[in-house]
Amino acid sequence: MSDGTNAFAPSSASQPKKSRILVPHVAHPVSAIRKKRVQKACNNCHKRKVKCSGDHPICQRCRDEKFPCGYRNEETKEEPSHLIMHLHIQKLTKLLRNLSPWLDASSAYLLDQTLNQMGSPLRIHDPVFMYSPRRPLNRILLLNTSLTCGNSTNLAFPVGINDYTEEDFHRNGEGQGMGFVGEHSEIAWLCRLKQDLDQRNSTSHEKVTGQPSISSANYYQDDIQISISEEIDPTKQPPPQTADRLVAIYFYHLQSSFPIIGELTFVKQYRYFRSNPNARPGRRWVAILNLVFAIASRHETLLVHTQSNDHLHPTYFARAWKLAMGSTAVLEQQNLQSIQIYGLLALYLFSTGQINRSWKITGMAIQSAVTMGLHLRNESRTTHYISKEIRYRLWWALFMLDIGLSVITGRAPTTCTTFCTTPLPLPLDEAQLLDTRFENVVTNQGTRNAVVSSLLCNGAWPESRQTLSDDTDLAHVLSLTEGNTNKDIENIRAALVPNDSLCFLYMVDLVSLLQEVLNTLHAPGAARRPWAELALAIYTFDKNAEDWLSRLPNEFDFRESAFTQKFAQQRTRLAFQFYTTKLIISQPCLRRLSRFRLSPDLPDAACEYMAYACVTTAKRMLELLPTKPDMSWLLEISPWWCILHYTMQPTTILLIELFTHTQPGTLKIAQLFEYIQKATRWLGEISTTDRSSRRAWLLCMGLIARHGSQIGLKVDPTRNGTQ
User: Domain extents for the chain?
Assistant: 35-74, 87-154, 240-426
* Assigned fold of 35-74: CD2-Gal4 (4.10.240)
pLDDT at 165: 60
d(Cα 604, Cα 241) in Å, to the nearest integer? 63
- Pairwise pLDDT comparison (128 vs 617), residue with the higher score: 617
pLDDT at 467: 38
d(Cα 428, Cα 502) in Å, to the nearest integer? 7
- Pairwise pLDDT comparison (539 vs 78), residue with the higher score: 539
Does residue 476 have a pLDDT over 60?
A: no
pLDDT at 13: 47
d(Cα 372, Cα 425) in Å, to the nearest integer? 18
CA distances from 525 to 110, 137, 160, 411, 518 (A): 18, 5, 12, 13, 11
The dihedral of CA 282, 285, 289, 291: what is its sign? positive
| Total count of residues recorded for the chain | 723
CB 651 within 8 A of CB 600: no
- Least Cα distance to 256 among 571, 496, 570 occurs for 570
Average pLDDT score over residue span 10-34: 51
Cβ contacts of residue 9 below 8 Å, gap of 6+? none
Main-chain dihedrals φ then ψ at residue 613, nearest 5 degrees: -65, -35
Average pLDDT score over residue span 517-521: 92
Does residue 398 have a pLDDT over 50?
A: yes
pLDDT at 253: 93
- Segment 552-583, tens digit of pLDDT: 988 899 987 555 678 999 999 999 999 999 99
Average pLDDT score over residue span 595-617: 76
What DSSP line would sit under 121-149, residue for residue?
---TTS--PPP-TTS----HHHHHHHHHH
2-6, 47-51, 282-286, 484-488: least confidently modelled range = 2-6
SS3 string, 203-214, reads CCCCCCCCCCCH
- Pairwise pLDDT comparison (471 vs 416), residue with the higher score: 416
Does residue 378 have a pLDDT over 50?
A: yes
The burial of 680, by beta-carbon neighbours within 10 Å (0-12 exposed, 13-18 middle, 19 or more buried), is given as buried
pLDDT at 171: 55
- Pairwise pLDDT comparison (234 vs 36), residue with the higher score: 234
- Pairwise pLDDT comparison (115 vs 397), residue with the higher score: 397
d(Cα 233, Cα 251) in Å, to the nearest integer? 25
d(Cα 345, Cα 320) in Å, to the nearest integer? 9
- Least Cα distance to 513 among 543, 555, 481, 485 occurs for 543
Average pLDDT score over residue span 122-144: 34
pLDDT at 434: 80
- Segment 180-212, tens digit of pLDDT: 888 899 999 999 898 888 877 765 445 455 556
pLDDT at 9: 45
The dihedral of CA 202, 203, 205, 209: what is its sign? positive
Cβ contacts of residue 103 below 8 Å, gap of 6+? 111, 139
SS3 string, 227-272, reads CCCCCCCCCCCCCHHHHHHHHHHHHHHCCCCCCCCCHHHHHHHHHH
What are the helix (H) ranges across 554-690? 568-596, 605-623, 631-636, 643-660, 667-686
pLDDT at 261: 95
d(Cα 114, Cα 90) in Å, to the nearest integer? 14
Query: How many other C-beta atoms can be found within 10 angstroms of the C-beta atom of residue 3?
Result: 5
pLDDT at 143: 34
Task: Give percent above pLDDT 70 in the chain.
Answer: 70
Cβ contacts of residue 631 below 8 Å, gap of 6+? 302, 303, 685, 686, 689
Average pLDDT score over residue span 223-243: 88
Residue 156 banded pLDDT, cuts 50, 70, 90:
very low
CB 666 within 8 A of CB 278: no
- Segment 288-335, tens digit of pLDDT: 999 999 999 999 888 765 444 446 899 999 999 999 987 666 677 889
R_g (Cα) of the chain, nearest Å = 38
Query: How many other C-beta atoms can be found within 10 angstroms of the C-beta atom of residue 288?
Result: 24
Residue 176 banded pLDDT, cuts 50, 70, 90:
low
Q: In angstroms, how far is CA 689 from the centroid of its own chain? A: 32
Q: Which amino acid is at 567?
A: F
b/e string for 227-244 if b means 16 or more Cβ within 10 A? eeeeeeebeebbeeeebe
